[in-house]
A = this chain, B = another copy of it.
Amino acid sequence: MADEIVLLSSWPSMFSMRVRVALAEKGLKYEYREEDLQNKSPLLLKMNPVHKKIPVLIHNGKPIYESMIIVEYIDEVWNHKSPLLPTDPYQRAEARFWADYVDKKLSDNGKKIIWSTKGEEQETGKKEFIECLKLLERELGDNPYFGGENFGFVDVSLVTFSCWFHTYESYGNFSIETECPKLIAWTKRCLEKESVSSSLADPHKIHDFALGVRKRLGIE
């Protein structure tokens, strides 16, 4: 029986894009359903009653949520190709640590750059955001990917932020390429992969989306 896979998502979400990248890495077909986060569908509310958030993966009727938990699930179920986590337990712990770091630090600091009114909070967010990216760049080192020779778990967790870079740069008034050239080289390398380029949203559309939200929040 063929697997039935449905992804509840929202096109600008870097978290949803992670799941799209993982599904593409595994060569999986799925039904994509766009959610209106201002008017959540009954399906979303039923499938993720605890957090009511996207992404939600529904595999043969059963829901899985939290983007990196979904990615790990995908990696375990479809383990016949493109492994995202390494086999060695220590390297797995390291990969989980860095994906967790991206989740804990990058998103919240990035939000301060885009969604706060100009001022001290935005400056702090920008400074911490750049520090986070620099730390990640050091972790990458001279490897082509965070997964070493191969695109892996940490690459999935971070690459989807790259389509938001233009928006962070625009509102934060800084250049990520100037601050972290190796990291930008890494994003370009990732974008050469079909699984990434077909899953990431266009940076200019993201910028327009952010502008729309800022107007709605009354901060534009």
Contacts and interface: CB of A to CB of B under 8 A. Distances in A.
A37 interface: no
A45 interface: no
A151 interface: no
A73 B92 contact: yes
A35 interface: no
Nearest to A65: B97
Interface in A49-71: 50, 59, 62, 64-66, 69-70
Interface in A80-115: 89-90, 92-93, 96-97, 100-101
Contacts of A59: 90
A217 interface: no
Given A72-B93, A76-B92, A77-B89, A66 B100 contact: yes
Contact of A93 (B70, B89, B90, B92): B70
Interface of A: 50, 59, 62, 64-66, 69-70, 72-73, 76-77, 89-90, 92-93, 96-97, 100-101, 135
Given A66-B100, A69-B93, A72-B93, 11 more contacts: A50-B101, A59-B90, A62-B90, A64-B90, A64-B93, A66-B97, A69-B96, A69-B97, A73-B92, A73-B93, A76-B89
